[in-house]
Structure 1
């Protein structure tokens, strides 16, 4: 398939351009007395994959709707592709690709027809729609399903078709709101592969997710949101290094009350978190900490040493897990 995205601007050493495509300063979205987005500052550069990480209700989708020019900001400033979405929303939307949380495909049409008809919305000729549909069917690995009715397709296939459709107009920015929610692990990994290919081709990706592994896989840079505010910003690796330890020791016990066990492991790790079903001990050496736990006479039901993730970062910053 030829590149579905426009040629990227000259890139920096990090693989992205210094050109800012999305810039928000003090951005707010209020619904009555409730501030869904409470004064955030964001910059997205050409060619990067930028993520909004946080639980449901953090303000991610409200932010994406403002960037997508379908919901006007209540306050602050927002520039998309150098334009003002309040006055130039139609011109901006013509240069965006949007993958909403819920697929909005026409289930009674074929896979190919969904692409052809969507291309016509952007004023493309029938011949150009057919050319782009063929390219996008190949990209989405849906060539053998081109003439299938959409409705009975699997969730993963529908999601790939939704992404393919969002690329019909060769967008400069692709907005993805919770792109893999509801998919099984295999379908999620197939979708990640397609998004990674787009990223390699220089497409600017802006996505929301509450999956920490998804953010780590796809994002060059991200912000962690909670309660409508940004609580941290950086690359996945830099955030983990800044707010967590190299490893995390997870201890599970037969007893429901874990506070006494937390007291007994005090001093064995840099930080101890008590969750409803386990203790988390933050340490740079999980094996050594495990030995120290045993030396204190504790006998957990299970012991797991793992690397720190963005969920640990979120827990450190907010006191809650991403799935709360």
Structure 2
């Protein structure tokens, strides 16, 4: 097991201030608190004169004064992104309605938050979000994963050092977490929301590490790998799988859990397909990782017949 990774370095979850003004922000649903020395300004909102601090956004001043502006993406601890565009308002003298979470207040500014045009824009923006709602029902990392693996689920289990549960969650979609943790290009990490704060979570290394811990327990202590679903009673049916590459072995794995008798036929002298013959040893160790992962199939009763080319 020389290839097993050490436990990945885990950064603190504390959000570090990006600048002095962000450092003043409190973890609250209200706007950031300002030092008393910050100059105060007055603006008019919906016919009402309110006070705020110089440098605050329209949204912050409105929230401080009990004026509600709808938002979906606003987070007081982070700078305004305006991604949802639900917080648009009208400002007298400006041609285009600004986004209130990023527009800084100016003295004597006149703001309107409930005009017919503002409501129309908010309604249109919400309809646009709902028109692509499938992309918003999943975290962006999971949505960009070609297999839509439950990434938040296994990351939570990893954070609790429950690597068995993490691997169980992963295997619901793909049965070989350690293999994938070495060959996947990790498109999920390019869309990790944590990257907007500091850097993306090492998602690929996380499931690789959890899978390695399960392999280690299997090899050292004889503990069977976790099953993603309940093992079904024997069905009496037989299935032949042609090819022992990742697709064939994944099919065999789930067929075995479903209770079927499975035989995998492989034309080469050893199972693995492109995983064995197309990926170099330094990238994917064949004994420590590939054969160990495939053992989860044979432990369920699967049979692999090599040197059995068909056609």
Range of TM-score over shorter length: under 0.3
Structure with the higher strand share, 1 or 2: 1
* TM-score normalized with structure 2 length: 0.25
Find the structure with the greater CA-based Rg.
2
